[in-house]
Structure formats: structure tokens, C-alpha cells
Structure 1
Amino acid sequence: METTIFSKIPNPTWTPTKQSREDHFAEHGTELPQTVPAGKNNPLGEYALRLAYGNRTYLIHGTNKNFGIGMRVSAGCVRMNPDDIAWLFAKVKSGESVKVINDPIKITKEPNGEKYIEVHSPLTPDETSNSEPAEELNYDTIFTNNDMIDWDIVAQEQELQRGLVINIDLYEWVENM
């Protein structure tokens, strides 16, 4: 998805959807309020970036809890650590481009040489994306023969699909004698 930042919202108010309120009541037996003002009980945290995509209901926002950061547990929003959204909020402007990458497997080699993998399970069983199945990924497009990769960790992450950014550098431990 490619879009832009429609607006920047410090101290956002959370307005749960009717469906969210119904789901919460069914699961917990308690009512969610129509709106939750800014403050410690607001799950959006201290900052939100409203995206221009669709009917402008998608946000990149902070949180008042650590659960769910980087996971697929929200109603489509991107939840960030409070310090990270504060940093991002200060750096971006309304109208700036945003690209949401929906690829179950992401790999990178950073400028300092560190290598990482992030593997998610597909959103739906028939999800289509730009990613190849794990066993068909061509790692040669990112890594060279000189790169030391811990292929056991790569295989583990492809199996677990935890959605975590994991360093896959192979470190050789040499014992001093």
C-alpha cells in the first residue's frame, strides 16, 4: 500500500468502532466508551499519524501497552513503541509518502554489514504478495559468498514466523588457549 500522511495528531483521542465495542463486550462483558481521551488509558499513546489511504481510518500510533507492537493484533493500524513514534512524529510532515510493505519475509543487509530477517505468517491462506515462498527466496540478491549467515537461525525463523527482526549474522567463537 502506498499512501501519504494525512495528518499528525498529538495526544489523540481514541474512538473505538462499533464492531470493536461489540467484540470487546462479547469477550469481556464490559462496555468500551464511545471515546477515550488522551492520557494513560488511551491505547493510541501520545502520538498518531493518520494515513490518507481509504477513508483515513488507518493510523501509525504509539501505545499505552507493550503487547502487540509489530504484531497483527489491531484493526489495521501500525502500533509502535512510544519512543519510536515520538521520534518518527518529530521527523515527518503531513503529505509525506508512506509505503506499507506486506511481505511475509523481509531480509536486509544494513550499511554496517549486519544482516537481519523478519518472517510473518501470511495474513490469509491465499494471500498474494511480492514475496516468494521461503524455500524459493533468492538470498543471493542480498548476500554474497563472503557474508557469514547463520542458516540455522534463518530456517528457525522461517518455521516459527514470529514477526520479529532477528540478526542472522554467523559469529565464530574462538577460544583463547
Structure 2
Amino acid sequence: MAIREILEAPDPRLKIVSSPVEKFDEGLKTLVDDMFETMYDAYGIGLAAIQVGEPIRLLVIDLQEEDPDAEPEECEHDGTKHTHQPVKKDPRVFVNPEILDPSTDKGIYQEGCLSVPDVYADIERPSRCRVRWQDLNGKQHEEDMSGMLAICIQHEMDHLNGILFIDHLSRLKRGMALKKLQKARQAA
């Protein structure tokens, strides 16, 4: 497994419409392992293959909910010690996903993105959807999704179509988000 570089806006590769996965082989499994390692390292909950430079219809999600039954753990970040509640990992892989039946009910959720770091915005999306996808062996699945999982899958599927979450914003707000990103890069 390896941590890969995450492409950041305005990288033109993020605008590519990804191609369907046709080979369900060891290379695909290695890419998935790398994507999870990259996502966890960046403290994300979802990652599309195009975000690591692979223009194929593949995404991974792990909502990593806190485990209320686990003992709190001590850890150290940037030289500061603190206690946190461990999370339950629930890694999910979606190959060639498609949304079949988005609800007409909409919800507004604050979204962020590993490809647009430190920028957050309220985005309106269907609050439920039915999704069809294949697993790493090519077996087909369907599931009704709601809540955070529905939002996350729609966000990641946008990446497969060359769309960033900031593309859902007005031109003015999108411009402000990109300026904020550029300022953060210059300060680093």
C-alpha cells in the first residue's frame, strides 16, 4: 500500500470524465488499498480514483463513525497530546457506480473535499438515492442510501463526471472558494 498524491483544484485532470472499469484484477485491488490509505492519511471519508490521477469509475467511502463502546484513546498530533473516541471503520468500495433513483426531497449539507482543502460550502442534493455498483470481483449490488452515505456517494460520483462540489456554487462563491485555496497555497 502507498499514499498517493491527491490532485487539487484547479488541476485540469479533475475535470476528466472517468472511464468504466473493465479489469477486475490485482491492479484494481492495489489501487483500492492505496486509495484507502491515502484517504485515511488525509482524514477524509471518501475518495474517487481521479483524485489520485486514475480516470476510472471507482470510489471508496468510509464514514468512520465513533465507536461508543470503545475506550477513549490518547494520541499526539503536531506535538499536542489529546484524547479522542476511536472510530469503527467500515470501508466500502464502489466500482462503476450509478445513481438510479434520486429522491425529489433535497437536503443542504456542508461539504468539503480533499481536492479543495480547507474550503467548505452548503450544497443542496437529493437526500436519498438508489445506487447500483460492482464490487472488486465484478459482482453487482444495489442499495437505497440516505443521510451522510447518500451525500457522500453523490459527491464522489460527481468527481467521476469531472464535477467538484464548488461547481454547484454560484460563480461568485466558486471564485471566492478558489481564491481562498490559492491564498492558503501561497501561505504554505
- Which one scores higher on RCO, CA 8 angstroms, separation ≥ 6? 2
* TM-score, with length taken from structure 1: 0.24
> Which entry has the higher C-alpha Rg, 1 or 2?
1
Query: Which of the pair is proportionally richer in strand?
Result: 2
* TM-score, with length taken from structure 2: 0.23
